Amino acid sequence: MSLNTSDIRADFPIFRRKINNNPLIYFDNAATTQKPRQVIESIKNFYENHNANVHRAIHTLSQEATELHENARGKIAQFINSKSSEEIIFSRGTTEAINLIAYSWGLKNLKKNDEILISEMEHHSNIVPWELISKRKECIVNYARVNNDGTLNFEDFKNKISKKTKIVSISHVSNVVGIVNEIKKIGKIAHENNSLILVDGAQSVPHMKVDVRDLDIDFLAFSGHKMLGPTGIGALYCKKEHYENMDPFQGGGEMIKEVNFNMKTQKSECVWNEPPWKFEAGTPNICGSIGLMEAVKYLNQIGMDKVWNHEKKLTKYTFDRLQECKKITIHGSLDVSLKCGIIPFSFQGLSSHDVALFADNFGIMIRSGYHCAQPLHQVFNLKSSARVSFYIYNTLEEIDRFVEVLREIEHF
């Protein structure tokens, strides 16, 4: 059974909006997704009925807020088939989750001349933390090559991994070309070399069934706002056995059990809280975790298989329809079996920003630029690209309208 987009769209208040007198067509889902009223209402309900800080007070509101917040952790753990909610660390998003591993695990475990293996297709948030850590620890960051069609060059990956590699950090799905990496295969090679594997799931967790146990990975980072949830909340899955090799990320309340002050020496001795709270300093994003729990419920109700198939259908349809536009070049593979619903393209004679502005005049939101993945654009010899990316509420009719607009640009 396919997905009922009209029922789904009715849940998203933003689709009542008109942009330049046109119905809103939102094709920038890789950047962030729209929010259903269930998520919006869960946040409103929290503030109207349960608002208090978590873990601290014994009063009713604090108990309720704590229960909601911790239930959210459990729901998110189930969503990715983690063994327990204790393996979920809340973060602000994918970026903070990757930084957490780079600092908490990296500073403690990396030594001079150790190697970190990433790839040319990474988002800046899976490049810059490793570049920063490698400078501090005098390590080397290696980049596995990407083929012309945007797939990972597996030979190069195998050549670059060795016993010196301590961590492989790689995206599950490229946010530019939408290629799905073979994480099971990559993880197996990483483990054979005694390396850990961190998966950047920013573009996979929202769109497909991701099972951390089946993939056999050590860390998974993802963002709530890319999967119907609010901004400012995300998660890091951390296999429990790695906690003992990780120092706190930030210091403050929540992450601490005791701060014993020695009045004589005027020094404090700290006892850390248990993980995952050891890695969550300060008041957490409580309404964020609750909103994300609601988003997960919403996606579960649809079923991730349906989400995935719907996006495949849209991608295939877009490839077919874009053939009518002679001035369009799609970047990366056209093999839908390797991809999810992210399509980067160039328009002959126009910059990506011009194409995006033109589309905007017709109420169509697409992304332009290099999508925080400048190295991949350099590999493709592109200054920038335009990008459409789909989600559960997008329809074939919207793609028809988009192609119509592109044809108008061609004539123009």
Min CB(270)–ligand PLP separation in Å? 28
CA dihedral 155, 157, 159, 163 (to 10 degrees): -150
Q: How far apart are the C-alpha atoms of 304 and 81, rounded to whole Å? A: 13
Q: Which stretch, 57-65, 70-78, 89-97, 309-317, contacts ligand PLP (CB under 6 A)?
A: 89-97
The only residue of 11, 115, 120, 200 in contact with ligand PLP, by rule CB under 6 A = 200
Q: Which lies closer to ligand PLP via its Cβ, residue 224 or residue 363?
A: 224
How many chain residues touch ligand PLP (CB under 6 A)?
Answer: 15
The only residue of 125, 142, 169, 195 in contact with ligand PLP, by rule CB under 6 A = 125
Judge whether 372 counts as a catalytic residue. yes
Burial 257-292 (b: 16+ CB within 10 A, else e): eeeeeeeeeeeeeeeebebbbbbbbeebbbbbbbbb
Is residue 223 involved in binding ligand PLP (CB under 6 A)? Answer: yes
Which tokens belong to 161? 């991994």
Contact at 8 Å (CB) between 102 and 129?
yes
Min CB(390)–ligand PLP separation in Å? 14
- Taking CB under 6 A as the rule, which mask of x and - marks residues 346-365 in contact with ligand PLP? --------------------
Residue 159, CA distances (Å) to 126, 130, 153, 175, 185 in order: 21, 20, 10, 25, 15
Min CB(30)–ligand PLP separation in Å? 6
Q: Which lies closer to ligand PLP via its Cβ, residue 93 or residue 406?
A: 93
Q: Which stretch, 11-19, 198-206, 235-243, 303-311, contacts ligand PLP (CB under 6 A)?
A: 198-206
Question: Sign of dihedral through CA atoms 219, 113, 124, 312?
Answer: negative
The only residue of 123, 207, 278, 312 in contact with ligand PLP, by rule CB under 6 A = 123
Name, in order, each residue with C-beta under 8 angstroms of 150's C-beta and a sequence gap of 6 or more. 121, 174, 176, 177, 178, 179, 331, 332, 333, 376
Is residue 171 involved in binding ligand PLP (CB under 6 A)? Answer: yes
| Interface contacts to ligand PLP, rule CB under 6 A | 30-31, 93-95, 123, 125-126, 171, 175, 200, 202-203, 223, 372
Q: Which residues are catalytic?
A: 372
